[in-house]
Structure 1
Amino acid sequence: AILPLYEVITLRALGTRKDKYGKVRLWGSVGFIGAVAVVGAILEWVPVSYLPWLLLPVFAGIAVSAFLVPAERGERKPPAPKGSLKAIVTHPAVIAFFLMNFLLQVSHGAYYTFFSIHLEQHGYGKLSIGLLWSLGVLAEIGLFLVMHRLSHRFSVRQIVIGALFLTMIRWILIAELTMVVPILIFAQLLHAASYGALHAISVQYIQGFFGKHHHGQGQALYSGLTFGAGGALGAWMSGFLVEGISTSAAFWGGAAAMAVAILITWRGLQPMPKVDEETGR
């Protein structure tokens, strides 16, 4: 539930420098790697029942940092135009955007649920599996560092279609060439496209389409309909494929979802409009 608020506050704090979002977001990925490494090492020595105590300093740090975020100053914003949220949500480009992201997270269902199991079935050990997961996060950090350059050089449509195509290739490589280590490493590096590029673009796309009055609702819809509903449906459907066929079939299902997402994006996604920050139009 905190994610939509985090995105809104971050983008408002950046102001006209929204293309720098990636350089802020990458620290979440750094924190993820740090937490996995440090907490994982500690849990080798202490029982897992100590986990809440290990998390307590993290939550305390979040609370302290939240109070350090400067509050917005200035005049109160005028009330939002009546019916504007409905008009935004029913816009064909916004519908295409949400469908694309929904299918993107459906395709990730097999990855987040069965990737470790898939690797174990192909003979990879725990250390190798952990390193491969970390490699994906490192790739996303690298993408966040250069995302502002890509957004200046390529259009939103070009970045999205390119990232969706690379995501489809990624699932096919994992499904069919798991035992070829260099190919698997390359597939994990494509996490920069399947998560990094698409998330950074999506957050800014929501900000551009929903305007100042509806930033919160837009980011909440993005998190709920995609990471929430899409991720849950993808995990559920991939479970049937794993039980009925194999883990490779689940990744092929993700590739099929990406093929549909590419078609929807090609036909329906439009550039972000020039939005008036006050009226949201």
Structure 2
Amino acid sequence: MTPAVFRRYALFYLGYYGTLGAYTPYIGRWVASLGYGGYVVGAMLALWYGSRIFGPPLWSRLTSRSAVPGRWLVIGCLLAALGFSLFAGVANRGPMFAVMAWFGLCFNSVMPQFEAMTLSALGSRSDEYGRIRVWGSIGFLVVAGSYGWLLDRLGEAMFVWLTLPWLLLTIAAAWLHRRDGADSITVAPTTPLDDNQLDSAPVLQRPGMARLLATTLLMQLGFGPFYVFYTLHLQAQGHDGIAVGVLWAVGVLCEIIMFWQAPALVRRFGAQRLIGACLAVTALRWWLVAMAGGSLGWMALAQTSHALSFAVFHAACMRRMAELFPQRRHMVTAQGLLSAISGGTGGVLGAGLAAVAWQHGGGNLAFSAGAIAALAGLSLHLATAARAKALPAS
């Protein structure tokens, strides 16, 4: 991959995750500022994750049948930005949920497509994925670390307007890929995939894929309280906007550093071993957040584990995907399925679990439930790891 091509891919990750740097930490704060409680906040995030179930598989069919799938990337980003802009004019529950569904369907659909494009562009150098993906973490860091302070001063009503510029950057980055052809995501350079290639059954039948999906689903389930209520939990524990932003920034900074080291770690220890280590650390992390949320020092320490909980875990999962589908024949469908099952179903269940726990026991109960989910994922992974090693990778 030449430096110019590297920059094209890195820019999209920068814009996409810069948007998430505003959305993920602060959407709950914005919804709460409208006077809604934990159930509405949870429902908003459940819609967000639910769109991951339906959007990516449908989108993969559109893009995989297109001779120029790069155009669909641009269309998806345009529709996502238009949908998000409508948040500026809604305050009632019904319209807000409708806008959330629109935005989520469009925004969540384009990343599995782009992940497949990135892995195909890397080819046999899939272990270098982290060096591109780190630019998404940089975008998230800049936004998440500063927007708590900005919202303290400008007010929660500015949330939408502060997020839109990052969506526009995503559109501009997608435009650079508008002419990318079918060879950017498939092994056949000009021929669209047939129905057998798009069917998810062969993907699920690949040894190890079902176990990977179940493990990532449980990890995402454990992240539910973090994505939905972490900012509100910190505020309830007495931390101001600056402290909240700093804590988000600490996690993402450690994530960035680890993304640079992830290729070497994956090569040395292997994806399976790293996935297990990440699940164990994540369970400890959520227990610490539940028990010591009022301590800035302990929260900073917990956030450093984001290097493993997110960066290494994500890089190891991408490596495992490359091992399971080395010829990329089913890569688009597999990426869409991974997003739908882990990020989608796991996200919906995680948001629902977090909302119920928050209403009945606040952040302590919510993050304790997250720790239990991560432990369940670790148990599943350990129970199947030996069998997975005995099976062929492809």
Q: Tell me the TM-score range normalised by the shorter chain.
A: 0.7 to 0.9
Tell me if structure 2 keeps the 8 A contact 1:88–1:209.
no
Letter in 1 for 2:362: S
2:177 is aligned with 1:66: yes
Q: Which amino acid aligns with 1:33?
A: L
Query: In the aligned structure 1, how far is the partner of 2:163 from the partner of 2:224?
Result: 27
Cα distance in structure 2, aligned partners of 1:52 and 1:164: 31
- Equivalent residue letter for 1:61: A
Match of residue 245 from structure 2: 130
Q: Confirm or deny: 8 A CA contact 2:220 2:346 kept in the other structure.
A: yes
- Shift of residue 117 of structure 1? 1.4
Amino acid at match of 1:116: T
TM-score for the superposition, normalised by structure 1: 0.86
CA positional deviation for 1:53: 6.1
TM-score by length of 2: 0.63
Aligned to 1:262: 378
Contact 1:39 1:54 in 2 (8 A): no
Using the TM superposition, give the Cα deviation of residue 186 of structure 1 relative to its aligned residue in structure 2, in angstroms.
1.2
**Does the 8 Å contact 2:207/2:393 carry over to 1?**
no
Of 207, 232, 236, 2:352 maps to 236
One of 250, 256, 263 as aligned partner of 1:148: 263
Q: Secondary structure at the match of 2:177?
A: helix
Matching residue's letter, 2:319: Q
Taking the aligned partners of 1:68 and 1:170, their CA distance within structure 2 comes to: 43
Which residue identity does 1:261 align to in structure 2? G
| Correspondence 1:48-87 to 2 at 5 A | 48=158, 50-51=161-162, 54-55=165-166, 57-67=168-178, 72=183, 85-87=200-202
Q: 1:109 aligns with which of 213, 224, 234?
A: 224
Q: Once the 2 structures are TM-superposed, how far is the Cα of residue 163 of structure 1 from its aligned partner?
A: 0.5
1:122–1:178: 8 Å Cα contact kept in structure 2? Answer: yes
Q: Is the 8 A contact 2:126 2:322 kept in 1?
A: no
Contact 1:11 1:18 survives alignment (8 Å): yes
Report what 1:9 is aligned to.
117
With over 3 angstroms needed to count, the CA separation of the structure-2 counterparts of 1:184 and 1:79, relative to structure 1, is closer
Percent sequence identity over aligned pairs: 27
Q: Read off the aligned partner of 2:249 and give its amino acid letter.
A: S
**Structure 1 gap segments, 5+ residues each:** 276-281
Q: 1:30: which partner in 2?
A: 138
State the distance in 1 between where 2:201 and 2:218 align. 22
1:104: Cα distance to partner?
A: 0.5
Aligned to 1:188: 303
Q: 2:288 aligns with which of 138, 163, 173?
A: 173
Aligned match of 2:129? 21
Distance 1:209-1:178 versus aligned 2 partners, 3 A rule:
same
Deviation at 1:161, TM superposition (A): 0.7
Instruction: Report the CA distance between 1:52 and its aligned residue.
Output: 7.4
1:227 aligns with 343
Alignment correspondent of 1:157: 272
What are structure 2's unaligned runs of at least 5 residues? 1-108
Question: Structure 1 residue 245 and structure 2 residue 369: aligned?
Answer: no
**Shift, 1:4, TM fit:** 0.9
Cα separation, partners in 2 of 1:104 and 1:5, compared to 1, 3 Å: same
Match of 1:279 in 2: none
Worse-superposed segment, 93-102 or 47-56:
47-56
Counting helix residues as a fraction of each chain, which structure ranks higher?
2
CA-atom RMSD in angstroms:
2.9
Q: 1:185 to 1:238 in 2, by over 3 A?
A: same
Query: How far off its partner does 1:236 sit?
Result: 0.9
Distance 1:41 1:110, change over 3 A: closer
* Shift of residue 93, structure 1, vs aligned partner: 2.1
